[in-house]
Chains A and B, each alone.
Chain A
Amino acid sequence: AQSVTQPDIHITVSEGASLELRCNYSYGATPYLFWYVQSPGQGLQLLLKYFSGDTLVQGIKGFEAEFKRSQSSFNLRKPSVHWSDAAEYFCAVGAREYGNKLVFGAGTILRVKS
């Protein structure tokens, strides 16, 4: 069965420090990969997506993610975190073979300390 693992439930970083959020997936098909962010009391906003091609993708708000097929990973990175980045981040995976459905990871809550 398809699954998405975000190993870190909570991460705390200092403002200005770099960030990496981990995402691993298990899929029996070529995956489409997404990162979403959910601020408190808000819906989900799409940060970035990977379908094919260049394995390093750029998103909004200065985020990037790298697809590594050999490691079944799609980690999210940001070189310098801002206090406004504090939120919950969800990795999601889909595949054409499974229709238009997305499977979400459990989420990682990011705290930013000043």
Chain B
Amino acid sequence: SAVISQKPSRDICQRGTSLTIQCQVDSQVTMMFWYRQQPGQSLTLIATANQGSEATYESGFVIDKFPISRPNLTFSTLTVSNMSPEDSSIYLCSVAGTTYNEQFFGPGTRLTVL
């Protein structure tokens, strides 16, 4: 399985600012995913990021709020824009494995917005 790292591991931010989260994979992968895990909740898919194309966003998530970059096959960023306390969550990236919807996850970024 791929080794995935995320930066930062945690951050505390002020309302109205933006934070960019980085996801680095140790091997080339076609599909990467960004999830949000709100406190005490399960994972919700934000978007799917393929290299060389625009990210595909799930219902309820928009590019202006969560812009995503995918400059190459080992790296992606998610920006949380104009943050409010409701954006306080763990943000996780994952990559598709080689078989059948399998995904491997990074350690997550714990974001607190004051």
Q: What residues make up the interface of A, taking CB atoms closer than 8 Å to B?
A: 32, 34, 36, 41-46, 49, 51, 90, 94-96, 99-102, 104-107
Contacts and interface: CB of A to CB of B under 8 A. Distances in A.
A46 B31 contact: no
Contact of B48 (A41, A44, A100, A107): A100
A48 to B, nearest CB: 11
Contact of B42 (A34, A94, A99, A104): A104
Interface string B33-70: 10000000111110010000000000000000000000
Contact of A105 (B42, B48, B100): B42
B43 A104 contact: yes
B105 interface: yes
B100 A96 contact: yes
A46 B92 contact: no
- Give the secondary structure class of B's interface: strand
5 contacts: A34-B101, A43-B105, A44-B43, A44-B105, A90-B42
B105 A102 contact: no
B42 A43 contact: no
B100 A32 contact: yes
A46 B100 CA distance: 14
Contacts of B31: 100
Contact of A101 (B4, B41, B101): B101
